[in-house]
Amino acid sequence: MIRILAACGAGVNSSHQIQVAIENEMKKRGYDVKVDAVVMKDITPEMLSKYDIFTPISKPKLGFEIKIPVVEAGPILYRIPAMAEPVYDQIENIIKKSNK
Amino acid sequence: MQTLIQIANTIFNPIIKLGGPPVMLILLTILATVMGVKFSKALEGGLKLAIALTGMGAMIDILIGTFNPALQAFVKFTGINLPIIDVGWPPLATITWGSPYTLYFLLIIIIINVLMLILNKTTTLDVDIFNVWHLAFIGLLVMYYSHNNLLLATVLVIIVGILKIINSDLMKPTFNDLLDMPETNPTTTTHLNFMLNPIIMVFDKLIDVIFPFIDKFDFDAATLNNKIGFWGSKFAIGAYLGVFVGLFGHQSIKAIFTLAFTGAVILELFSVIGTWFISAVEPLSQGITNLVSRRFISKRLYIGIDWPFLAARPEMWAAANILAPIMLGMALILPGNRILPLGGIIAIGLTPALLVVTRGKIIRMTIIGTVVLPLFLWVGTLTAPFVTHMAKVVGAFPTNVSSSSLIGGTTIEGPIEKLIAIVWGEFGGNMNITSGLEALVAIVIYILVFIWYAYQMKKRNEEYKKNNETV
């Protein structure tokens, strides 16, 4: 199983939409993923180390090095399928490479 | 316009009298179906909204039941009278979405956005359907004070709605700058919290003149945030505010623990229930976006989403962390304040706008934030009777507590617009020359300051353009 961490400003709206969208799309594509949604400011290196992919809403500046692959997931929020597609493709590529 | 309002009134008034979650279940399901959403998805959304409303009601019940006795003791022992409990934004959003009028204001705003796009008055397509509750809150506030003058409410919602969409165009180059977005990235936001930008910019320009040197003291925001760690998280804040009220209210050790844990669990669960309610509106949002975006797909568009893409900037959180204790201290001594910060103490209704105007200058964000905080506390105090009334109307408020119990929000987005809504509502409730003049002057000043701000932002955007060309 691939563990993905989504993050936004309140951990309620945007990251939740990202969470649901990624889970649905990856299930459709045949991957077993688990996505959690948190508030950007609550992220620690320790928390990130438990995930395989980080999907923040926009380019993050956390003040420490991010050691897992990062995919900016903001375009999912436009609700226009063609714009969300590249985000899913990027995630799929990372999953394929990781051989999990 | 008049007939539209009459139709809205005849349809909505009897439905509203039924009150509460079942009505929204029916209305949201119907509306989503009309927008082309599959019936089962539409029904799922409607059900989730009804459940979220019921859940928020249960949480508010627990919060008031636990905190009210301690707060009364707090008042008795300290002499500080802060009887209004700050529930933060998720309950306010849910309660507002519990009113059928929110769907009416939503339709108005969609029509406005589509018209502005057709007339080339904007580049922004707003797909942030759920945040229409901020405008609906303003409209409902006008109606509350004016004994249901829907025309006045509609006019104010339209004015603020138009300015909000213009503002999202104005801010776009700043977003590209703050978040390293390429020109092709369409992300922008129409969120109401950025309507405070004009006021913040006034203070920002003052700092330019009086203390331009303070920017030298800017520090690394991410480092500060990492040091604060879990102390700034929701459950921690809930817990220590519980302890604070308990200690000064001379409660027993056992009661203090209960207050701390209840405060923590409530703040966490408000967010959890908030996610139910977001997914409740999701089918409707997708349906509307499908309908509207198809029309404009050939155009080069900005897409307006919720503000949290700015959460990637650590300055926003550093300012919120610094402002939290300042707000608590201020709440205790500010004349006219009656609200005790709790759910809204992390000021995400304020710091994104500070970030955009100052472009991440943390010292300025803190100073200007402190200067405008009283506005939020006063508006939180003034709107509490309305919020409590709304919560009762939609069935999200315990019926067995004393009538003096009030809920509200400390950092409600758009405090200026709320004040104008009250002035307009009072004019609607008592039409005479004085109240009419007040309503007129308020909106004229509001629009003039916005025009000045728009001019400043256009200057800023010209500079961005020049810099991009030279690079």
Q: Kind and range of the H or E element at A53?
A: strand A53-56
Q: Of the candidates A13, A15, A39, which has its C-beta nearest B130's C-beta?
A: A13
pLDDT reading at B403 higher than 70: no
Which pLDDT belongs to residue B373? 96
Query: Which of A10, A55, A49, A57 lies closest to A36, judged by CA?
Result: A55
Instruction: Tell me the count of A-B CB pairs closer than 8 A.
Output: 118
Q: Which two tokens stand for residue B422?
A: 């009250």
pLDDT reading at B172 higher than 60: yes
Q: Report how far apart, in Å, the C-alpha atoms of B237 and of each of B162, B260, B344 are.
A: 37, 9, 10
Q: Which two tokens stand for residue B140?
A: 């409902």
Pairwise CA distance, residues B176 & B471, whole Å: 15
pLDDT reading at B104 higher than 60: yes
Decide if A42 and B233 are in contact by the 8 Å CB cutoff.
yes
Taking only the tens place, the pLDDT of each residue in B369-381 is: 999 999 999 999 9
Q: Which two tokens stand for residue B393?
A: 């109307």
> pLDDT category, B1, cuts 50, 70, 90?
low
Which pLDDT belongs to residue B151? 95
- Give the mean pLDDT of chain B: 88
CATH code for position A20: 3.40.50.2300
- Rg over alpha carbons for chain A, rounded to the nearest Å, is 12
Search chain B and give the residue with CA nearest A16: B275
Mean of the pLDDT values across residues B125-130?
86
> pLDDT category, B19, cuts 50, 70, 90?
low
So what's the ipTM on this one? 0.73
Q: Which two tokens stand for residue B390?
A: 């709304």
Site from B277, B309, B313 to mutate, A interface, most A CB atoms within 10 angstroms: B309
Pairwise CA distance, residues B192 & B189, whole Å: 9
Using an 8 Å CB-CB cutoff, list chain A residues near B132.
Answer: none
Which pLDDT belongs to residue B401? 66
Using an 8 Å CB-CB cutoff, list chain B residues near A37.
Answer: 275
Using an 8 Å CB-CB cutoff, list chain B residues near A41.
Answer: 225, 232, 311, 314, 317, 320
Which pLDDT belongs to residue B17? 65
**SS3 for A4?**
strand
Q: What is the 3-state secondary structure (H, E, C) of chain B?
A: CHHHHHHHHHHHHHHHHHCCHHHHHHHHHHHHHHCCCCHHHHHHHHHHHHHHHHHHHHHHHHHHHHHHHHHHHHHHHHCCCCCEEECCHHHHHHHHHCCHHHHHHHHHHHHHHHHHHHCCCCCEEECCHHHHHHHHHHHHHHHHHHCCCHHHHHHHHHHHHHHHHHHHHHHHHHHHHHCCCCCCCCEECCCHHHHHHHHHHHHHHHHHHHCHHHHHHCCCHHHHHHHHHHHHCHHHHHHHHHHHHHHHCCCCHHHHHHHHHHHHHHHHHHHHHHHHHHHHHHHHHHHHHHHHHHHHCCCCCEEECCHHHHHHCHHHHHHHHHHHHHHHHHHHHCCCCCEECCCCCCCCCCHHHHHHHHCCCHHHHHHHHHHHHHHHHHHHHHHHHHHHHHHHHCCCCCCCCCCCCEEECCCCCCHHHHHHHHHHHHHHHCCCHHHHHHHHHHHHHHHHHHHHHHHHHHHHHHHHHHHHHHC
Pairwise CA distance, residues B383 & B379, whole Å: 6
Pairwise CA distance, residues A50 & B168, whole Å: 37
Search chain A and give the residue with CA nearest B297: A80
Query: Which of B180, B191, B187, B67 lies closest to B135, judged by CA?
Result: B191
Mean of the pLDDT values across residues B436-440?
95
Which pLDDT belongs to residue B314? 84
Total count of domains within chain B: 1
Pairwise CA distance, residues B102 & B28, whole Å: 10
**Residue B94: exposure state from Cβ atoms within 10 A (0-12, 13-18, ≥19):** buried
Higher pLDDT, B310 or B337: B337
pLDDT reading at B470 higher than 80: no
Q: Of the candidates B181, B225, B282, which has its C-beta nearest A41's C-beta?
A: B225
* Residue numbers of the domain that contains A57: 2-98
Taking only the tens place, the pLDDT of each residue in B342-357 is: 888 888 899 999 999 9
Query: Which of B146, B239, B183, B208 lies closest to B367, judged by CA?
Result: B208
pLDDT reading at B471 higher than 60: no
Mean of the pLDDT values across residues B222-239?
79
Mean of the pLDDT values across residues B247-251?
89
Give ∠ CA B160-B290-B24 in degrees, rounded to 5. Answer: 65
Point out the least confidently predicted range of B38-42, B151-155, B226-230, B269-273: B226-230
Please give the share of chain B, as a percent, with pLDDT higher than 90: 46
Q: Of the candidates B225, B230, B275, which has its C-beta nearest A12's C-beta?
A: B275
pLDDT reading at B112 higher than 80: yes
* Residue numbers of the domain that contains B250: 2-470
Residue with the two structure tokens 């309507």:
B195
Point out the least confidently predicted range of A70-74, B78-82, B259-263, B357-361: B78-82
Which pLDDT belongs to residue B20? 66
Q: Report how far apart, in Å, the C-alpha atoms of B124 and of each of B155, B167, B176, B373, B411 are.
A: 21, 10, 15, 30, 26
Total count of domains within chain A: 1
Mean of the pLDDT values across residues B195-206?
96
pLDDT reading at B9 higher than 80: no
pLDDT reading at B250 higher than 60: yes
Which pLDDT belongs to residue B400? 66
Mean of the pLDDT values across residues B107-130?
91
pLDDT reading at B399 higher than 80: no
* Residue B253 identity (one-letter amino acid): I
> pLDDT category, B179, cuts 50, 70, 90?
confident
Under DSSP, the state recorded for A70 is B
> Among A81-85, B44-48, B113-117, B397-401, which range has the highest average pLDDT?
B113-117
